[in-house]
Structure 1
Amino acid sequence: MNKVRPSAFEAVADIPDGASLAVGGFGLSGVPETLIRALHDQGAGRLEIISNNCGVDGRGLGVLLAAGRITRVTGSYVGENREFARQYLSGELEVELVPQGTLAERLRAGGAGIPAFYTPAGVGTAVAQGGLPWRYAPDGSVIVASPPKETREFAGRPHVLEHGITTDFALVRAWRGDRHGNLRFRQAAANFNPLAAMAGRVTIAEVEELVEPGELDPNDIHVPGIYVQRVTVLTAEEAADKQIEKRTVRS
């Protein structure tokens, strides 16, 4: 039951080329930076990423993106990464944009064993009707577009069918965790982390503080250890390295 790995590098050592990964975080809050850097050093490529956003230039998933390790992204927001925009518009990167709430529910559904669900989000738009550019050609033409999705009425209101997401691996960051893999997130860092943890077949968590089993009150556990296969503990410096995406102060 001891799921602790000696280092982040060892925790991600078996992630192969072409793996799919659900990655927690929102902007730069709750991003598993240490695991991402370890995966960069490990060298895996052709990765398919499912995450709310793909980091920023030089931080978070932006590190893997800049190294050319990512071939496909499913996310809901990409506006803070110039390299992401360049790769997408030049045809180097395939991108599936999903409404944010739908992405959250697709991850949760996959983790709960629910293959698909209906939602009103996206009805009457290209999300449901198809035609969203997934991949461009270098000349700017669209070579892969989203397909149309099944729609159905419930109580007189149309809904679109969305599929649950499961991935080969998941990378998440938690505030506290124990050796059994039980996790607790702090404040805004909860964001997509619990959902990503559920969706991964092998979930790897970096934790700021490791405690012994039983120290976490069961009522305070956000993700039970059954969803988590590996835990790695951050150093004090790694735990304190929390960037602010946009700093706003009074004039």
Structure 2
Amino acid sequence: MPRDTAHKHTSKDGFLIKPGLVPVGEPARRVETGEPQFGKPVFINGIPMRSPVPEVAATCKGNLLIIGSAPCVRDDLKRFDKTHRGDRMAVNDPAMHYTGSLEHLVSMHHEYFHCWLDFRYGHNYGNGKRVMTHSYRAGSGVDVAWSILNVGGTSGLYACMVGLALGYERIILAGMPMDNSGHYFDLAGPLTDFEHGNAIATVWKESRNNYFKDRVRSLSGRTREWLGEPNAGWLGYAWPPKE
């Protein structure tokens, strides 16, 4: 959970952070950020990035549940969400449809932040709590731009790197199997190819070995095979709960 959620200021690296509530019926507040400058690579919680480092780096702790958009996300959340102890992060479209509390939204496609969050705030999901947005570069609707190095393999992998850079100690993936099952909102037409031969598997396994260090686990699919499934010993509390 965030160690300090009360700050409302422009950080020394140029990123404007304004947590808070968005009144029901009002459009989401938008925060412009400065473009990250390139400098000497640094490591934050084991994640490589270019300086200057956003001030929110290493300010969070505990467990983080990252919500993806594969069809299995419903089953994954049914198994895990109610027992989760910690914060939540959406990757792309689930920010619109997840009705519970949400602390973060990550995407490589920040141009969609406006529509995702306007929909969320308009429905008062999560009681209208302000969601902090993260992307790989500054732009409209981006709260924090992370210049993280050695990232590939879709927004989901990038979200894992951001979660660790924020300081979270354990990350659980829901609805992120990285297979060809498509999205929960696919109605017709071809499904998104999340395999790309061996390319996606390669970058995920490299990140597992070089950066995750058993700090990221998954509830389903190929990522569960690569990273393992959360259990009581890893989470630090009883899971799955007894029937």
TM-score (norm 1): 0.30
Task: Please identify the structure whose Cα radius of gyration is greater.
Answer: 1
TM-score (norm 2): 0.30
Q: Larger strand proportion, structure 1 or 2? A: 1
